[in-house]
Amino acid sequence: MASYSKELEVAQLAVQRAAILTRKVFHEKAKGTISKDDASPVTIGDFGAQALIIHAIKKNFPDDQVVGEEEASSLRENQKLRDQIWALVDGTKLKDPEAEKILGGPIESIDAMLDAIDAGNSAGGNKGRIWALDPIDGTKGFLRGGQYAVCLALMVDGDVKVGVLGCPNLPVDDSVPLTAESGIDQTDAEGKGVLFAAVSGQGATSRPLGIAGLGKSQPIQMKEVKDISQATFCESVEAGHSSHGDQFEISKKLGISKPSVRMDSQAKYASIARGAGDIYLRLPVRADYQEKIWDHAAGDLIVREAGGEVTDTLGRRLDFSKGRTLAENKGVVAAPVAVHGHVLSAVKEVLAAKK
Ligand SMILES: Nc1ncnc2c1ncn2[C@@H]1O[C@H](COP(=O)(O)O)[C@@H](OP(=O)(O)O)[C@H]1O
Ligand SMILES: [Mg+2]
Ligand SMILES: [Mg+2]
Ligand SMILES: [Mg+2]
């Protein structure tokens, strides 16, 4: 079995470096936000983080492909935005020169930055080594002052082998349980920022999200759910991304009376993987929406390696081999292995009753 130790190190350092950039933008009022073709927002933080991460991947693994969420066409036309991003990218370094060297050093020029962003154009698929990158997942949360995540995963022949999530606004302490407020950034800068990682067959870990080399990691595991009615379930903040109504019906069926924890981004996967919460539900709002692979690849592996099961609403494993989207899946149901079947039955009953 391949160990993927080099890939894991590069991925974690690349996410950690990109998070230095996103944190800077998070604390600035002007985030250089523009609207994409699908009317969703993108910021200078998203572009900058994508450039830095793809640069590091290409320096280390020149033959690998990348499926990245963003592309640079709007920047090629907009010099002001481009210069703003370059100023950020050019000034972002890890404070450990050895770690910086592992990432292949800084990006050489503005053109190289734009090319790095556009190198995220792989069509994906079931052959070879392909990275899935979401430079800022939960951009709406990022703009609102909520949770967000820098997400990177390596797929080999369509199967996720390495997953890394940088969550700058989650508490470092794995044992802090989720509360209704967990989706909002807790303003105190101390003790927050977590780097989650998993390698297929090797378990999942967390460590503080630093600004130099990698801190000491510890294994994480999902919490045992003894009584499902006491479980904590997570869902998106955005009602346009998943059906709050269906998710409420499902939780009611499970006897859960606690309100859901609403949180942006794959911080939901990370939070249940470390046992701070128990269940993550993402029920489709539109029948024709195809989930993007970069919104799930890292979280799927981290949860499964922490003792969870992740399927769609029909009980199928998420299939990352179909291209840039999860074309063969509908929605997401993530829970500890021991209770996943029970949760899935409730999901199916609620969806059947709607028909
Ligand atoms: N109609 C829809 N259904 C499900 N997900 C959607 C959606 N429209 C956008 N999204 C995705 O939802 C992601 C955020 O998820 P969450 O609601 O869990 O924070 C977005 O990622 P980005 O923020 O990276 O664009 C985007 O890709
Ligand atoms: Mg987006
Ligand atoms: Mg996303
Ligand atoms: Mg994104």
191 has pLDDT over 90: no
Ligand 1 atom 15: the closest Cα is on which residue? Answer: 265
Ranges for all domains in the chain classified under CATH 3.30.540.10: 5-220
pLDDT of res. 354: 87
Query: Mind listing the pLDDT tens digit for each residue in 19-34?
Result: 999 999 999 989 999 9
Query: Mind listing the pLDDT tens digit for each residue in 276-309?
Result: 999 999 999 999 999 999 999 999 999 999 999 9
Extract long-range pairs of 304-307: CB within 8 Å, 24+ residues apart.
304/198, 305/163, 305/198, 305/199, 305/200, 305/201, 305/202, 305/203, 305/204, 305/273, 306/198, 306/203, 306/204, 306/220, 306/221, 306/222, 306/273, 306/274, 307/221, 307/222, 307/336, 307/337
Contact between 131 and 66 under an 8 Å Cβ cutoff? The reply is yes
CA of residue 147 to ligand 2 center, whole Å: 14
pLDDT of res. 187: 61
For residue 264, indicate whether it is catalytic. Answer: no
- Stretch 49-70: mean pLDDT: 98
Nearest to 263 by CA among 136, 134, 133, 145: 145
pLDDT of res. 189: 65
Q: What's the topology of domain 5-220?
A: Fructose-1,6-Bisphosphatase; Chain A, domain 1 (3.30.540)
pLDDT of res. 2: 83
- Give the position of tokens 């149901």: 333
340 has pLDDT over 80: yes
User: What pTM value is reported for the model?
Assistant: 0.98
190 has pLDDT over 90: no
Q: Which CATH architecture has domain 228-354?
A: 3-Layer(aba) Sandwich (3.40)
Query: Mind listing the pLDDT tens digit for each residue in 161-178?
Result: 999 999 999 999 999 999
Residues whose beta carbon lies within 6 Å of some atom of ligand 1: 40, 69, 134, 137-139, 141, 236, 238, 240-241, 264-265, 285-286, 289, 292, 295
ipTM over the 0.90 cut-off: yes
For residue 118, indicate whether it is catalytic. Answer: no
| Cα dihedral 47, 52, 57, 59 sign | positive
Ranges for all domains in the chain classified under CATH 3.40.190.80: 228-354
pLDDT of res. 325: 98
